[in-house]
Amino acid sequence: MSNKKSQYEELFLVQYKKTNLPPLQREVKFHPKRKWRVDFAILELNILIEIEGGIWMKGSHVRMHGYQDDCNKYNEAQALGFKIFRFTSEDIKNDRAVKFLWNYLNPGNEIF
For residue 65, the tally of other CB atoms under 10 A from its CB is 9
Average pLDDT of the chain, as a whole number: 87
Topology adopted by domain 4-105? Endonuclease; Chain A (3.40.960)
Which residues on adjacent β-strands are paired with residue 87? 51
28-53, pLDDT tens digit by residue?
999 999 999 999 999 999 999 999 87
DSSP state, residue 60: G
Q: How far apart are CA 85 and CA 47, in angstroms?
A: 7
pLDDT tier for residue 2 given thresholds of 50, 70 and 90: very low
Residue spans per domain, the chain:
4-105
What's the pLDDT score for residue 61?
Answer: 52
49-87, pLDDT tens digit by residue?
999 875 545 555 555 567 888 899 999 999 999 999 999
Q: Helices 4-17 and 96-105 meet at what angle, rounded to 10?
A: 40
**Parallel, antiparallel or unpaired: strands 83-88 and 47-52:** parallel
